[in-house]
Structure 1
Amino acid sequence: MPKSSNQKLKLLYLLRILQKETDEEHYLNSQQLIERLEKYDISAERKSIYDDIARLTDFGYDIIHVKTKGGSGYYMGSREFELAELKLLVDVVQASRFITLRKSRELINKLEQFVSGKEAQQLQRQVYVAGRVKTDNESIYYNVDFIHRAIQENRQISFQYMEWTLDKKLVPRKGGARYVISPWALSWNDENYYLIGYDKEADLMKHYRVDKMGSIELTREERQGSIVFENFDIAVYTNKTFGMYGGREEIVSLVFADQLIGVVLDRFGRETDIRRLQEGTFRVRVKVAVSGQFFGWLTGLGTQVRLAGPENVVEEYRNYLKKIYGRYEEGCSGQ
């Protein structure tokens, strides 16, 4: 009887069967493996199954032979990823705002290839995150890859920077003018990807949301700003820049209720200098980018925080609060 053209693929199909249909709780005996191979028009005998599994094991695959009162069989032991690791990755993909719904499904389907069919069902999870809105802009994946390439090749990039209009469309800022930036790093902050790059004209490190960068091109020019970047601390920069909105830098003094210590360490880091004050309060001195977002963060903490200085920033904050209050004064038109 002539052999099937698939016969030469016997080892590969056997490996696929073990990977997709077996795990620690599900195994297949030699007869079941023979039957599975027959579906691919591949003939096999018990002895050849033993020999093939031995070859796969010698090559490095962790194939376990179990013997129980109910019989014996084989299953795929350790894999590239443990199930718990894949569950974590799936949760991250689903919770990531910058990954579109369609791309999330594609990535999860690919992750399922690393476990058996039974275990793959456990990866069909749904992570609910309050207020989470998935982006519908898939260009971000290619933008990230493009920026990494520019960094590796030590080249500047040019791009259009986009903004939303009231009719919910992204249009180029500055009439479509192109920004030329030396890319140095990517940062994930406040659920968004940001490019950290050097702007030669301003002689400053700046940040740009990657999902709002359009028509990215590599230039022939080498990156600039290496000296500036050497003295640039991304962690410090993102901690002081609330919501990645810029503003002038100031060292401010803040007095918090003790129960907000976790909020402070999450916001400014564990290296923050903490000074105990009267019972129930503590003070920190931190560098921040003074902006509406910073004042909004303070306001959200209510009476459990007090901006203690410097006086010019305190006065700005008073005016900020007065303007908000003025919008709600009695007799306000509401417009």
Structure 2
Amino acid sequence: MAKSGGQKGRLLALREILLRQTDEEHGLTLAQLQGELEGRGLAAERKSLYDDIETLRLYGLDVMREGRRYFVAERPFQLPELKLLVDAVQACKFITRRKSDQLIGKVEGLCSAHQARQLQRQVYVAGRVKTENEAVYFSVDALHGAISQGVQVSFVYEEWALAPGGRRFVRRARRDGQAYRVSPWALTWDDENYYLIAFDSRSEAIRHYRVDKMAHIRPLPEMPREGADAFANFDMGAYSKGVFGMFGGEEETLLLWFAPTLAGVVADRFGPETPLRPVGEGFAVRVKVRVSPPFWSWLFGLGAGARILEPPEAVNAYLRYARETLAPYGEGEQ
């Protein structure tokens, strides 16, 4: 037999029923709402339900009526927005598969059960490589805390290596496990990974570290953050554009030439606001990049449509990289 349960308990239950079981395409009649409440052991007369629905409206729940059916219309997140969030979580490499499922389940709680089924159809991405480091979420939180407190952090930096026998990959600590100590300034998302941007007092330079490779992160409250001068005019956007694959290297200013067909590639890489000038049948741009193997690979992949004009040192370095890359193949076909 149904019990009254009090107006507050009935209001909370009614709010949950409307949020989880209704949307613009799926409504419930008063009789159905009564049945749902009675199934939870809560009695509700028709008049009291009218009053409860009006109370929920007054306190911000957008309950609409269409014919005999009631449903929640506007929500904090619309279904297309939730689909974007789900896709972002699923595509994110630094979130483990287990945590992805948990987060997507929580996102599904922001819409009706009917809409949640549409989100589930958005979830599966075949062959997606995901990290195995479950601690990355706590790492991000610890780093955000250190940044807001303005203190240094220590951590062990790990990498993948071949196990003895060469039949599987294992994680190993760099520097033989010796802890890194840096001053954290920002977290950024690049190349499908989370990175910490920090000041390294040993080299007196700005460095970046992949968060999922950082272990045993420990804020150092007794050590104030350093590197304020280095970050005074730091431009995160410019830094990301100049660093290929978040791979370190010396920053250099290069004059690069491109064929007209590569205009989109250059705009995507360096930004559509990048100044350019016509040179021959193409155009040239002067940009700052961190010269590294990923940069050479990017340039090499563009083929004859891209080349370095200056400085000569960079041209020679690129030629050496190309020769060393091709050397294992010998002369090839004549």
For Structure 1 versus Structure 2, the TM-score category normalised by the shorter chain is over 0.9
1:97 — aligned with what?
93
- 1: CA distance between counterparts of 2:6 and 2:48? 15
Tell me which of 118, 132, 136 is aligned to 1:136. 132
- 1: CA distance between counterparts of 2:192 and 2:231? 24
Contact 2:2–2:42 under 8 Å retained in 1? no
1:175 — aligned with what?
176
- 1: CA distance between counterparts of 2:228 and 2:45? 65
- 2: CA distance between counterparts of 1:290 and 1:136? 31
CA drift of 1:156 comes to 0.7
Residues 230-241 of structure 1 mapped to structure 2, 5 A cutoff: 230-241=232-243
1:155 aligns with 2:157: no
Amino acid at match of 1:52: D
CA drift of 1:278 comes to 2.6
1:283 — aligned with what?
284
Contact 1:247–1:291 under 8 Å retained in 2? yes
CA drift of 1:276 comes to 1.5
**Number of matched pairs:** 326
1:73 — aligned with what?
69
Residues 1-335 of structure 1 mapped to structure 2, 5 A cutoff: 3=3, 5=5, 8-67=8-67, 72-126=68-122, 132-167=128-163, 168-219=169-220, 220-279=222-281, 281-330=282-331
- 2: CA distance between counterparts of 1:173 and 1:242? 22
CA drift of 1:77 comes to 1.3
User: Can you list the C-alpha shifts for 1:231-283, whole angstroms capped at 9, x where unaligned?
Assistant: 2211111211111111112111111111111111111112211112233x111
Contact 1:162–1:212 under 8 Å retained in 2? yes
Question: Are residues 94 and 205 of structure 1, via their aligned partners in 2, closer, same or farther at CA, if it must alter by over 3 Å?
Answer: same
CA drift of 1:138 comes to 1.7
- 2: CA distance between counterparts of 1:2 and 1:101? 42
Structure 2, unpaired ranges of 5+: 164-168
TM-score (norm 1): 0.93
Amino acid at match of 2:279: L
User: Can you list the C-alpha shifts for 1:109-156, whole angstroms capped at 9, x where unaligned?
Assistant: 101111111111110134677974111112111111110000111111
User: Can you list the C-alpha shifts for 1:202-252, whole angstroms capped at 9, x where unaligned?
Assistant: 111111111111101011211111121112211111211111111112111
Identity over aligned pairs, percent: 50
CA drift of 1:3 comes to 3.5
Question: Are residues 41 and 132 of structure 1, via their aligned partners in 2, closer, same or farther at CA, if it must alter by over 3 Å?
Answer: closer
TM-score (norm 2): 0.93
Amino acid at match of 2:246: M
Question: Are residues 44 and 58 of structure 1, via their aligned partners in 2, closer, same or farther at CA, if it must alter by over 3 Å?
Answer: same
- 2: CA distance between counterparts of 1:179 and 1:278? 49
CA drift of 1:101 comes to 1.1
Amino acid at match of 2:65: H
Amino acid at match of 1:233: D
Amino acid at match of 2:137: Y
- 2: CA distance between counterparts of 1:128 and 1:52? 40
CA drift of 1:162 comes to 0.8
- 2: CA distance between counterparts of 1:8 and 1:76? 19
Contact 2:308–2:315 under 8 Å retained in 1? yes
Amino acid at match of 1:37: L
Contact 2:96–2:131 under 8 Å retained in 1? yes
Contact 1:277–1:283 under 8 Å retained in 2? yes
SS at match of 1:327: helix
CA drift of 1:6 comes to 7.2
Contact 1:7–1:43 under 8 Å retained in 2? no
Structure 1, unpaired ranges of 5+: none
SS at match of 1:224: coil
Contact 1:194–1:210 under 8 Å retained in 2? yes
